[in-house]
Structure 1
Amino acid sequence: MALEQARMLMVPKPWGATDLLPWSEVAPTGTPIGEIWFQRRDPQAPTPVLLLKLLFTQEMLSIQVHPDNAMAQAMGLPHGKTEAWYVLSATPEATVGVGLKSALTAAQLRSAIADGSIAECVEWRKVSEGDVIFVPAGMIHAIGPGLVLAEIQQRSDTTFRLFDHGRDRELHVEHAVAAANAGPADDQAPPQRLSDVRTLLVSSPYFVLERFILAAGSVWQLDAEQETWLVVIAGSARLGPSQAGIGEGCFIEAQTMRIEAGQHGLTCLVAYAAATPSHDLLRVLADCDAVAAALSPLPVPAVSPLSFKEARP
């Protein structure tokens, strides 16, 4: 059983940002921060199976791919890396690359890596706030500048780089070729309204990602049977014993948690280690003064999965 406010780990990256507001109030140090990892409070606690991050991109990230479970385990690693992104903010020209424009053979992929033309093979798409992108293991992908993303992933840091935009970092050609499904991305399922306050964003074999939108003053109970991570993306709330604002979150496992939405309501992302959505994950408390308001229809921000095939000529 666990219910704790998440500890934030700042991860420097050459492509990161120095101003993390409003997602973090940590004072800029001049060192670019690319990621904020949400961690257990106790470093000696059992290692979670999922990793929740915030990403801040001021430059193009490498074109990369992650292994699936079978390949990772053959390499002596516990598991591969499937992930999903939720766009928190984006500049007008922000893009991501997911999949390739057309299928390549292993020999063609090696050649494209060698001469740098792999960047032209990637399927690039503009993104905006609220977009959801599912990136299964084996899919070639990249993230452009001007983005703040929330990412949920299998807890693995195994990355094979195919192209790094001239940075002096190692490429992993043979591992990348072996790991990659070198073709176009599959269309992903659209978001699904599970209730007036719950939207299913991604359901994968390794995790479920949802968004909650809770009315100001409403009070709820979260029943977390599996490992569950929550991050506030708008508004505020009291999460169990702790107050949380934008960019803050918590870890819950095998326990219930009381959620009291703040005066401006609460919008949060919730990710948990399951293959299908939990029917009983969230319920309104019977003694809630704002039950009527909380259960009335709420304006829901647009959430769109990227379809990487519809726009392809």
Structure 2
Amino acid sequence: MTDTEPDPTREHTHDVVIVGGGPAGCSAGVFCARGGLETVVFDRGRSSIRRCAHLENYLGFPAGIDVETFYDLMHEHAETAGCEVLPDLVESVERTDDEEGFRVTPQEGEPVTARRVVAATRYDGEYMRGLDDDAAMFETRERDGEERERFDSEYAGHDGRTPVEGLYVASPSDEADTQAIMVAGRGARVAHRVVADARIDDGWWEDVADGVDWVRREAELDDEWADRDRWVEWFDDYYGGDAPVDPDSDRFRRIRAAAVDDSLSSYVSPETIDERAAAGQEALAAHLDVDRIVAAVDAETLLDHVEDELIRERARELDTVEASE
């Protein structure tokens, strides 16, 4: 064993390895990392989206966005969510000796191991050869009078699962994966499946493992639902009857506690909403040209904005004084 090989007696170095740092890979990475999985994204730096001259149909950018800025924002989002993004090309993915995970070998860096791997790159898929019967994973097509093999885009199911346990495919897929927003959606769907499967490995069952990643306003919690016991009661009523787990077991109680914690933590205060809104705009502004921002904002709009900020700041000061009295 070389110095660069992971110690096979240790736990996997990551929960999830994602091969590809384009829209599919970064989207999958965000959801996996936010789902509590230690995630690494390998990006060879040549995502197919870079062939696009200007991205014009990605929702949220009315005038479009230049590809380099979009690319940087994708990677920053993945890293902010908790992913490690490595600029390296994956050469091979192999089963570990115990068949409980995968060994991922990049071109330049050290090999890593992971319980799950998500393929999220449109290039030929050679790095996966040998994980399954090649006749199932690859298809032969004739082009220019020559027969050529390529990864079968229909190999994975709708949710990215494949016949190889722990291997998922976000791209290529049988869906149209030439539009960035559709590819990102595919990555999110596959990651949703990955997170659910990881929870099932931890004792959850299918119905309750299928969680939702969002936050809600704290004001929506009325007196009844602000009480943790009410959530416990709801969980027992909703899942207890059909759960494939004894409702009196330690496993059921453990999963119930985790699910209730997830539900309650999804409600955020007005202060947190304001903080996150400001952080989101600041993160976006960091990628924008200052001169263009100034040129796009007329003087009257700028003065109105400053006045509104002063009013909000004064309101915060008054709230602080009242709270201290």
TM-score normalised to the size of structure 2? Answer: 0.27
Structure with the largest fraction of strand: 1
Structure in which a larger fraction of residues adopt helix: 2
TM-score under structure 1 length normalisation = 0.28
Which of the pair has more CA radius of gyration? 2
The answer to which structure, 1 or 2, has the higher relative contact order (CA under 8 A, 6+ apart) is 1
